[in-house]
Amino acid sequence: MEYQWGHIRRFNAYSNYFKQTFGERLQKVTINAGFTCPNRDGNKGVGGCTFCNNESFNPSYCVPEKTVDQQINEGIDFHKVRYRRSSKYLAYFQAYSNTYADIDILKSVYKPAIDHPDVLGIVIGTRPDCIDDEKLDYFKQLSEDKYLIIEYGIESVYDKTLKRINRGHDYKTSIDAVERTAAKGIKVGAHMIFGLPGESRDNMMKSADILSELPLNNIKFHQLQIVKDTQMSKDYIENPSEYSFFDMEEYIEFFVDYAERLNPDFVIERFAGEVPPKYNLRPSWGMRNDQLVNMFEKRLKERDTWQGRLYKSR
C-alpha cells in the first residue's frame, strides 16, 4: 500500500521526503554562527531555557570561533567519512536563535552557505519571537533559489509549561510566527519535547490535535532528557517527583498513538533523540536512532496503523 506521502512506509518519513525532493540523500552540516537568545542576553530573561545546554548536541567541528565557511567544509569532510553516500548537504544553523540579529548581520552570516557549491539548502533554527516581516521577506527571497526551512522551537503548546521552562514566550507567539512564515511561502518546521515537567501523558497526546492545525512542513520530537549543567538538572535533583520519564517500549507505544492523530502532511524528521552519555544525567536507552525507527515501524505494522489514521481536520 502506498500512502498519501508517496511511499509504502507507514509514516511521512524525512529520509524519503528528501529522496523524493532531490533524488538523493542529503546530510545536515551543523553550524554555530555565534548567535545568542533573548532569554539569555537579558532582553527577556537570563539563563536561557531550563533544558538547554548547546554543548550536548553540537559536533566537535561546530564552534563559533570558526567561520561559517570553515565549519561547512569541516562538516562535509566529517560526513564524507561517516555517510559515504552523501554528496550534497544542508547547512543547519542550529545553536541558539539564528534570526536574532539585524538583517545585515543575517545576510553576512548566511552568504557563505548560500554560495557553497555543495550546499543545496539551509535550515534555520530559531525562536518564534525572533522573527519579523523584514527577515521573512529576506528568507522568502532566498527560498526562491535554495531549499530553505525555518525551524521554530515551540517545545510545548501549554503556556504554563513554557513559563516553567523559562521559554520567554507563549504558545500564541508560536502560532503567529508559523502562520506568518507559511503565508510568505516559506517552509516551516517545529521542534517539540515530550515529558516536560507538569505535563501529563494526556496533555502531550492532545498536543497532536493542536499542532496538526498549524501550516507546518516538518516536525521534530524529542523525549525529555535531563542534560547536565542546566537549570532543569538542578530542579530535577531538588524535585524529582515532579518529573516523569518514558522507558523505551512505553515511548514507542506512546508515539504510535500520537502519530495516528498527527496531520499526515507533516514530515516527521525525528521522533526521539539521545543525548551523549557524558551529558545525560539519567540512564539513556542505549539505542541508535535507526534502531528506534525500526522499532517504531515494526509497531505500526503490528497494529496495522499509520500516521494520520485518526486525524480529523477542523
For the stretch 137-157, what's the b/e string if a residue is b when 16 or more beta carbons lie within 10 angstroms of its beta carbon?
eebeebbeeebbbbbbbbbbb
When the candidates are 3.10.20.30, 3.30.70.1170, 3.20.20.70, 3.90.1170.40, the CATH number that belongs to 14-302 is 3.20.20.70
Percentage of the chain modeled with pLDDT above 90: 73
The pLDDT of residue 127 is 96
For 161-173, how does the pLDDT look when each residue is reduced to its tens digit (9 = 90+)? Answer: 999 999 999 999 9
- For residue 129 the three cell numbers come to 519571537
Outline where 144-288 has alpha helix (H).
159-164, 171-183, 201-211, 231-238, 248-261
The three-state secondary structure class of 79 is helix
For 200-244, how does the pLDDT look when each residue is reduced to its tens digit (9 = 90+)? Answer: 999 999 999 999 999 999 999 999 999 998 999 999 999 898 888
Q: Which helix (H) or strand (E) holds 105?
A: helix 103-115
Profile the chain (314 residues) by mean pLDDT over runs of 10 residues. Answer: 93 94 88 91 84 72 85 86 74 94 96 94 96 97 95 97 93 98 98 95 97 98 93 92 92 98 97 88 88 96 98 81
Q: Could you tell me the residue ranges of all domains in the chain?
A: 14-302
pTM over 0.85: yes
Contact 238/245 with Cβ under 8 angstroms?
A: no
